[in-house]
Amino acid sequence: MSPTDQKDRRNGIAADDLPPEIDLEDEAVEEIVEPIAAAGPDVAFTAIDWTPHAGDADGMVGAEVIQTLVKRLPNQPGVYRMMNAAGDVLYVGKARSLKKRVTNYAQGRFHTARIGRMVRETATMEFVVTRTEIEALLLEANLIKRLRPRFNVLMRDDKSFPYILLTGDHVSPGIYKHRGARSRKGDYFGPFASAGAVGRTINSLQRAFLLRSCTDSFYENRTRPCLLYQIKRCAGPCTGEISHQDYAHLVAEAKDFLSGRSQKVKTEISAAMQQASAELDFERAAIYRDRLAALSHVQAHQGINPQTVEEADVFAIHQEGGQTCIQVFFFRTGQNWGNRAYFPKADPTLEGSEVLGSFLAQFYDDKPTPRAILLSHAVEDQDLLAEALSTRAGRKVAISVPQRGEKKDLTDNALQNAREALGRRLAETSTQARLLQGFAETFGLAKPPVRIEVYDNSHIMGTNAVGAMVVAGPEGFVKNQYRKFNIRSTEITPGDDFGMMREVMERRFSRLLREHGDAQPSRGAGAAAEDDAAEDLVEGNGSFPAWPDVILIDGGQGQMTAVRKILSDLGIEDRVVAIGIAKGQDRDAGRERFFVKGRESFMLPVRDPVLYFVQRLRDEVHRFAIGSHRARRKKEMVKSPLDEIVGIGPGRKRALLHHFGTAKAVSRAAVEDLVKVDGISEHVAKLVYNHFHES
């Protein structure tokens, strides 16, 4: 076998199956390494990424370009990406046979409206050939989460889940809330549905097991017990109030409780309470009584605790009104650790089983997998998904749709929660749609706005000035689009709100023009395309637009004059509708005056729903601006003069403060004194000295 053939075999592809046009030594053919990490350390994953020669399909689009590309595709498992003329990924899919799957698209018939539109927009495709269909499934989920294609099912919330961490790298282990990579040694328990649930549970566990929650540095520097010891929420290991052996016993009890052996722990504490009572040691008996009460409080917050399910995630899906809700319940060690509702972006024509299957693959792309997954509906490729998750976890993972018993009760309960959550969301969306329609009629817009941006400034006598932008759309506030602007200009007079707003507008729209200059169609020929984009957004088929339809400015005529001049200078005055909101007489809510180009200023009736809507937008931008300003002011207050010295990083700063005690003492030190500090050379000592001594 030739060296080239050997390389082909290592990549899981027979040389005879490769198209003759593909050269494995070409620079365009590269090994994909990112999916290896995503698949897990135990997965032997190698793939070849290749793109057919672009010249073969120049000028073609839709089914025609797919027909050209499919001729040379291998009959191998893999992942394909469909892309439009701008290079944006439209869809990512996996296939047992790339040639057979892509051939279906090339036929150009028997497609749903969604697939037909996707095919028509396709200008090119890219392919990754994998060794097995399992690898293709794992890679597909990885690429969907990273590329977020328009026509795929997309998770709308991929925040990591919080866990409880019992540390294992300290003589007196602590209990903490943890989110993110598990890099610290210790025992992790969860996941929990929310950070609030973790906080409440830790508070109760502190009362039950008296474990410390302070940092290691705080622990090392204590000379007397802290307040938590005084209020009986810590055993005080830092100052020897409890021996290391007795504290280790408390830690072991906490591990038993969090590992599902709660009844054993409660029995032992109850026996100790009875013994203390029999010995007439009522003070110690009261401590055990309070610990039992705290344990009961923890279990009461966990809700339903199943008797036959030790470790499982329960998924239920409900579709209504063109939207989808997936409810997830987490059960670990026989205890319910909460639930969370997801509202994935998905085409309304997709069946629930298709949406749920795609959602599951993305959900576990970066999360630990339980031993059992219970579903309300069967999903496509269920066995393949179970095999893929088992491969990644290194142990068997069972996926099932319960038909009877306690497991069926759990999925029914999750399904009921999914129905109720989606019902609430539909009601809120309907209300928001009516408000946006009323907003458009009130301010003379051609159609309801899809993206509204609201701006405000916050400062104290011009210091720590911050500009804030909040964003609202058809589904309410879009918090991942919020932005804050630290006012940088030195030419602005302190307290000049016009100058601050001018800087915010220039920075915001200059960047928008650079990054999305052509994203907003003109009001003429592109109106139809713009209508389609808005429709796609409402149906969950598109991404949230970058360009605002309306900007609301917290200010009167002066502010609006400055804003309109900036928009005019940038050449976008006709792209965006700018509306000013001036506070009314005595700054009373309900007396606001509105400023719109081409109209006299006006007020709205006191009980007008649109007025309430605008007030809610203004209050949200106030909250965000003030919060950003306070955070900046707090940071400024604790800032050290040493932070301003070039060459003084955290390590040298710490060394100087440990040696001299305060920054003021450092400023008074001579060069001879400074060089005595570890890590401070003569050159650095002169930098520090010269910073505090102009002469």
Q: Name, in order, each residue with C-beta under 8 angstroms of 142's C-beta and a sequence gap of 6 or more.
A: 34, 35, 38, 365
- How, if at all, do strands 30-31 and 89-95 pair? unpaired
Three-point CA angle 186, 187, 191, nearest 5°: 130
3-state helix, strand, coil split of the chain in percent (to 5) is 45, 15, 35
- Neighbour-count burial of 345, counting CB atoms closer than 10 A to its CB (0-12 exposed, 13-18 middle, 19+ buried): buried
CB-based contact 457:625 (threshold 8 Å): yes
- Neighbour-count burial of 330, counting CB atoms closer than 10 A to its CB (0-12 exposed, 13-18 middle, 19+ buried): buried
Alpha-carbon distances of 562 from 336, 470, 501, 505, rounded to whole Å: 56, 20, 8, 9
pLDDT given at position 602: 87
Q: Is 440 within a domain?
A: no
Q: What is the mean pLDDT of residues 310-327?
A: 89
Read off the CATH number of the domain in which 130 is found.
3.40.1440.10
281 and 328 both lie in a single domain: no
Q: What is the mean pLDDT of residues 206-210?
A: 83
Q: Is 441 within a domain?
A: no
Q: How far is the C-alpha of 650 from the C-alpha of 656, rounded, in Å?
A: 10
The tokens for 45 are 């994953």
CB-based contact 262:295 (threshold 8 Å): yes
461 and 596 both lie in a single domain: yes
Query: Is residue 529 scored above 50 in pLDDT?
Result: no
Query: Is residue 463 scored above 80 in pLDDT?
Result: no
pLDDT given at position 157: 65
Q: Is 438 within a domain?
A: no
| Closest C-alpha among 604, 470, 649, 484 to residue 550 | 470
Q: Supply the DSSP string of 346-357, one letter for each residue.
A: --TTS-HHHHHH
Residue given tokens 């003429």 in the structure block? 524
Query: Is residue 401 scored above 90 in pLDDT?
Result: yes
CB-based contact 468:625 (threshold 8 Å): yes
Residue 178 CB neighbour total at 10 angstroms: 22
Query: Is residue 59 scored above 60 in pLDDT?
Result: no
CB-based contact 471:453 (threshold 8 Å): yes
Helix 244-258 with 262-278: angle, nearest 10 deg: 140
| Closest C-alpha among 649, 644, 663, 655 to residue 679 | 655
How would you write 195-252 as a 3-class SS string?
HHHHHHHHHHHHHHHCCECCCHHHHHCCCCCCHHHHCCCCCCHHHCCCCHHHHHHHHH
400 and 457 both lie in a single domain: no
Domain interval for residue 396: 312-424
Query: Is residue 544 scored above 70 in pLDDT?
Result: yes
Query: Is residue 469 scored above 70 in pLDDT?
Result: yes
How sure is the predictor about 55, in pLDDT bands with cuts at 50, 70 and 90?
A: very low
Task: Provide, rounded to the nearest whole percent, the portion of the chain with pLDDT above 90.
Answer: 11
Mean pLDDT is lowest, of 453-457, 475-479, 581-585, for 581-585
660 and 631 both lie in a single domain: no
Report how many domains make up the chain: 5
244 and 223 both lie in a single domain: yes
Q: Is 157 within a domain?
A: no
Helix (H, G, I), strand (E, B) or coil at 259: coil
- Top-confidence residue, 270 or 374: 374
| Closest C-alpha among 214, 203, 204, 206 to residue 172 | 214
pLDDT given at position 676: 87
CB-based contact 239:222 (threshold 8 Å): yes
Q: How far is the C-alpha of 246 from the C-alpha of 209, rounded, in Å?
A: 11
Q: How far is the C-alpha of 201 from the C-alpha of 301, rounded, in Å?
A: 8
Q: How far is the C-alpha of 48 from the C-alpha of 73, rounded, in Å?
A: 13
216 and 249 both lie in a single domain: yes
> Among 609, 635, 661, which residue terminates a domain?
635
Three-point CA angle 656, 660, 666, nearest 5°: 70
Q: Name, in order, each residue with C-beta under 8 angstroms of 571's C-beta and a sequence gap of 6 or more.
A: none
How would you write 426-486 as a 3-class SS string?
HHHHHHHHHHHHHHHHHCCCCCCCCCEEEEEEEEECCEEEEEEEEEEECCEECHHHCEEEE
The tokens for 560 are 């609006």
How sure is the predictor about 122, in pLDDT bands with cuts at 50, 70 and 90?
A: confident
Q: What is the mean pLDDT of residues 20-28?
A: 34
CB-based contact 106:66 (threshold 8 Å): yes
Q: What is the mean pLDDT of residues 450-478?
A: 83
Q: What is the mean pLDDT of residues 356-383?
A: 88
- Top-confidence residue, 695 or 455: 455
Give 677's DSSP letter.
S
Amino acid letter for position 465: A
Q: For the chain, what is the largest distance between any 2 Cα atoms, rounded to a whole number of angstroms?
A: 92
396 and 453 both lie in a single domain: no
Query: Is residue 359 scored above 70 in pLDDT?
Result: yes
Q: Supply the DSSP string of 264-314, one letter for each residue.
A: HHHHHHHHHHHHHHHTT-HHHHHHHHHHHHHHHHHHHHT----SS-SSEEE
Query: Is residue 510 scored above 50 in pLDDT?
Result: yes
Amino acid letter for position 577: V
CB-based contact 323:422 (threshold 8 Å): yes
Q: What is the mean pLDDT of residues 614-637?
A: 80
> Among 635, 651, 679, which residue terminates a domain?
635
Residue 654 CB neighbour total at 10 angstroms: 12
Read off the CATH number of the domain in which 545 is found.
3.30.420.340
79 and 135 both lie in a single domain: yes
Q: Is 331 within a domain?
A: yes
Q: What is the mean pLDDT of residues 43-68?
A: 57
526 and 417 both lie in a single domain: no
Q: Is 355 within a domain?
A: yes
573-586: pLDDT as tens digits: 888 899 998 876 65
Query: Is residue 3 scored above 60 in pLDDT?
Result: no
pLDDT given at position 315: 95
Q: What is the strand order of the sheet 372-375 is part of?
A: 335-342, 323-332, 312-320, 372-375, 398-400
The conformational region for residue 210 under phi > 0 = left, psi -120 to 50 = alpha, else beta, is left
CB-based contact 39:155 (threshold 8 Å): no
505 and 628 both lie in a single domain: yes
CB-based contact 392:368 (threshold 8 Å): no
Amino acid letter for position 693: H
Q: What is the mean pLDDT of residues 350-366?
A: 87
The tokens for 520 are 């907003």
- Neighbour-count burial of 58, counting CB atoms closer than 10 A to its CB (0-12 exposed, 13-18 middle, 19+ buried): exposed
521 and 590 both lie in a single domain: yes
Most confident residue range from 38-47, 112-121, 316-325: 316-325
Give me the torsion for CA of 226, 231, 232, 238, rounded to 10°.
Answer: 0
Instruction: Report how far apart the first and last C-alpha atoms of the chain are (Å, whole number).
Output: 79
Q: How far is the C-alpha of 321 from the C-alpha of 568, rounded, in Å?
A: 41
Query: Is residue 197 scored above 70 in pLDDT?
Result: yes
pLDDT given at position 539: 35
Alpha-carbon distances of 655 from 219, 670, 672, rounded to whole Å: 20, 16, 16
212-252: pLDDT as tens digits: 988 888 888 888 888 988 888 898 999 888 898 889 988 88
Q: Is 433 within a domain?
A: no
Read off the CATH number of the domain in which 661 is found.
1.10.150.20
Q: Is 215 within a domain?
A: yes
How sure is the predictor about 300, in pLDDT bands with cuts at 50, 70 and 90?
A: low
Give 37's DSSP letter.
H
How sure is the predictor about 543, in pLDDT bands with cuts at 50, 70 and 90?
A: low
| Closest C-alpha among 653, 655, 659, 634 to residue 691 | 653
| Closest C-alpha among 584, 575, 599 to residue 554 | 584
Q: For all residues of the chain together, what is the average pLDDT?
A: 78
162-192: pLDDT as tens digits: 888 999 889 899 999 988 777 889 888 878 8
623 and 650 both lie in a single domain: no
